Amino acid sequence: MTNPIVMLLLLLVFSFVLAAVLSCYREDEKSAIIRGIFRRSLVFSVSVIGFAAVAYFTSGFVLFPA
């Protein structure tokens, strides 16, 4: 059984690495890379959490068999 807190932590770790790789690919200066990491990891993790929330409520209410 998975724990939501652990899943959230794993999402944050993955978001950080994804953002680090993308920011380093796009930028070459330290300050720009650090700014890019914060922005991109926030956008990615919030998007995934948003999709998860939509999926959760959809499966719980809209798609729930009557």
Partner 1 sequence: MPSTLAPEASTRERILAAVGFSILIPGLGHFVGERKGWAMFWFATCQITLVLGLILAGFTQLDYGRTFGVGGTNLIYFLIPEGGNFLVTQLIARMYESLEYRGDYPDAFPFRNLGYILSGMSGVLAMFSAAHAAGQALAKGHPVRSDLAKKPITPGRAAVLTLLFPGLGHWKTGRKFKAILLGGAVLGLFLLGMALGDFADFNRQRHPYYWVGQMFMGVPGWLTSLVASGRNFHAVLPYQDAGLLFTTSAGFFNVIVALDAFHRAEHDWLSSGPKSKEVEA
Query: Is 28 a residue that touches partner 1 (CB under 8 A)?
Result: yes
Round to whole Å and give the CA distance between 60 and 62: 7
Spacing of C-alpha 6 from chain mean position: 13
Round to whole Å and give the CA distance between 30 and 4: 33
Query: Is 14 a residue that touches partner 1 (CB under 8 A)?
Result: yes
Phi-psi region of 27 (alpha: psi -120 to 50; beta: other; left: phi over 0): beta
Q: Which residue number, 12 or 65, has a Cβ lying nearer to partner 1?
A: 12
Query: Is 32 a residue that touches partner 1 (CB under 8 A)?
Result: no
The least CB distance from residue 24 to partner 1, in Å, is 5
Stretch near partner 1 under the rule CB under 8 A, chosen from 9-17, 42-50, 55-63: 9-17
